[in-house]
């Protein structure tokens, strides 16, 4: 009996998998942000949860409003407005007044996205545009921090959270842990370093047991969530690595010059919002560079500027301004880092 020949499937080319849609990519970014949101709520309680709800509702409602005004199909289903709202909330202090968060959400979409023509046309990261606006409009509220893991965080709002519009609610002394904590005067690790010369332990920074914005404390969790997006091939790890590399090199130079005056590279990387921004904001598909050399230049520039502004600027945190500057410089950098087309000859003058 003749042996059967193996069955061979013959298919036409090209043998290319379907690329993920924008909605699929954005949905996975939301998935990656959810553990960070959950940990923030665990740290700061119902005030952090309310801030996320309000800012996200504001960004989604603003997105829908501008789509209707332009007589276009609403794009709230692509999750981009949800991501903007979550990112904005995670860059704010956990006790930030809700009405100010709503204003920031509106500005993020109106000025950071709709003004440029919608998703895919924005020059700057929309969440950082909103963050920069509230930084300028509400400087006291944006630098008022609260302690993490307060005992009553799940039963009471931080007093400033429910402040009425155009009014502020001063934090009360009893909204603390068991003992009096200087948590309402900007006592974040960066503030302690800059104004008091106190260096926070690197382990506390890495694990997230310190005061700060709602999304900045746990570098370990941020890296794990970023690794999920890298595994899904929905995040370009090269720009994150370039930002960290630029931060480490710049900080290490100053640290070697005077260890008693300047913090170590590990402190600079794990403190403040740098790790969160490096993973979730510098990698924005629209405002980040795409050329290999451009990725390295912009990433290194963001890390360099963050360290310089932190050490010598008036503000304790600087990563927001560094990224916005990097967004503005991206078209220029990409114009002269375009790789030569294979086989093309350079024109001679």
Specify if 229 maps to a domain. no
Average pLDDT estimate for 288-308: 92
How far is residue 93's CA from residue 98's CA, in Å, rounded to a whole number? Answer: 11
Average pLDDT estimate for 103-119: 91
Q: How sure is the predictor about 186, in pLDDT bands with cuts at 50, 70 and 90? A: very low
Closest CA to 82 of 32, 157, 142: 32
With beta carbons less than 8 A apart as the criterion, state whether 302 and 319 touch: yes
Weakest mean pLDDT among 21-25, 40-44, 169-173, 267-271: 169-173
With beta carbons less than 8 A apart as the criterion, state whether 112 and 176 touch: no
Domain span at 177: 21-144+146-184
Sign (positive or negative) of CA dihedral 9, 11, 16, 18: negative
Contacts 24+ apart (CB under 8 A), 59-64: 59/84, 59/85, 59/88, 59/105, 59/106, 59/108, 59/109, 60/85, 62/105, 62/106, 62/108, 62/109, 62/110, 62/114, 63/109, 63/113, 63/114
Mean pLDDT of the chain: 84
Average pLDDT estimate for 305-334: 89
Weakest mean pLDDT among 11-20, 232-241, 277-286: 11-20
Specify if 161 maps to a domain. yes
* Measured CA angle at 128 (ends 125, 134), to 5 deg: 150
pLDDT for residue 159: 87
Number of domains the chain contains: 1
Specify if 58 maps to a domain. yes
Q: Where are the alpha helices (DSSP H) in the chain?
A: 22-44, 46-69, 80-90, 98-110, 126-137, 139-142, 189-191, 202-207, 219-231, 237-257, 265-270, 274-280, 292-312, 319-335
Average pLDDT estimate for 62-70: 92
Whole-prediction pTM value? 0.85
Specify if 256 maps to a domain. no
Specify if 263 maps to a domain. no
pLDDT in tens, 15-33: 566 677 888 999 999 999 9
pLDDT in tens, 126-155: 999 999 999 999 988 888 888 888 888 898
Assess whether pLDDT exceeds 80 at residue 343: no
Average pLDDT estimate for 212-222: 81
Q: How sure is the predictor about 199, in pLDDT bands with cuts at 50, 70 and 90? A: confident
Average pLDDT estimate for 43-55: 94
How much of the chain exceeds pLDDT 90, in percent? 46
pLDDT for residue 181: 35
Task: Give the residue, 177 or 53, on which the prediction is more confident.
Answer: 53
Average pLDDT estimate for 71-87: 90
Specify if 244 maps to a domain. no
Assess whether pLDDT exceeds 70 at residue 94: yes
Specify if 153 maps to a domain. yes
Which DSSP helix (H) or strand (E) runs through 1? none
Specify if 162 maps to a domain. yes
pLDDT for residue 47: 94
């Amino acid at each position: 009996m003749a042996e059967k020949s193996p069955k061979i499937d013959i298919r036409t080319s090209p043998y290319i998998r379907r690329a993920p849609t924008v909605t699929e990519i954005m949905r996975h970014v939301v998935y990656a942000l959810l553990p960070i949101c959950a940990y923030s709520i665990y740290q700061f309680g119902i005030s952090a949860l309310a801030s996320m709800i309000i800012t996200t509702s504001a960004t989604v409602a603003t997105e829908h409003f501008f789509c209707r005004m332009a007589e276009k199909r609403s794009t709230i289903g692509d999750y981009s407005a949800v991501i903007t709202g979550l990112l904005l909330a995670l860059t704010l202090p956990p006790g930030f007044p809700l009405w100010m968060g709503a204003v920031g959400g509106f500005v993020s979409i109106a000025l950071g996205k709709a003004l440029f023509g919608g998703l895919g046309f924005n020059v700057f990261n929309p969440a950082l545009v909103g963050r920069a606006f509230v930084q300028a409009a509400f400087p006291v509220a944006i630098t008022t921090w609260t302690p993490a893991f307060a005992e009553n965080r799940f039963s009471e709002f931080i007093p400033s959270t429910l402040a009425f519009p155009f009014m502020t609610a001063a934090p009360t002394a009893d909204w603390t842990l068991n003992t009096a904590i200087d948590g309402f005067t900007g006592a974040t690790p960066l503030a302690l370093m800059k104004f008091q010369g106190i260096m926070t332990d690197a382990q506390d920074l890495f694990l997230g047991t310190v005061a700060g914005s709602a999304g900045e404390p746990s570098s370990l969790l941020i890296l794990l969530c970023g690794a999920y997006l890298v595994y899904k091939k929905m995040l370009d790890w090269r720009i994150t690595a370039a930002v960290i590399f630029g931060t480490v090199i710049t900080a290490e130079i100053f640290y070697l010059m005077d260890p008693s005056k300047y913090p170590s590279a590990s402190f600079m990387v794990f403190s403040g919002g740098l790790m969160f921004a490096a993973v979730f904001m510098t990698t924005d598909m629209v405002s980040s560079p795409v050329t290999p050399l451009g990725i390295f230049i912009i990433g290194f520039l963001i890390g360099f500027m963050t360290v310089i502004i932190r050490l010598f600027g008036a503000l304790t945190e600087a990563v927001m301004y560094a990224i916005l500057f990097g967004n503005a410089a991206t078209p220029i950098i990409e114009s002269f880092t375009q790789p030569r087309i294979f086989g093309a000859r350079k024109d001679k003058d």
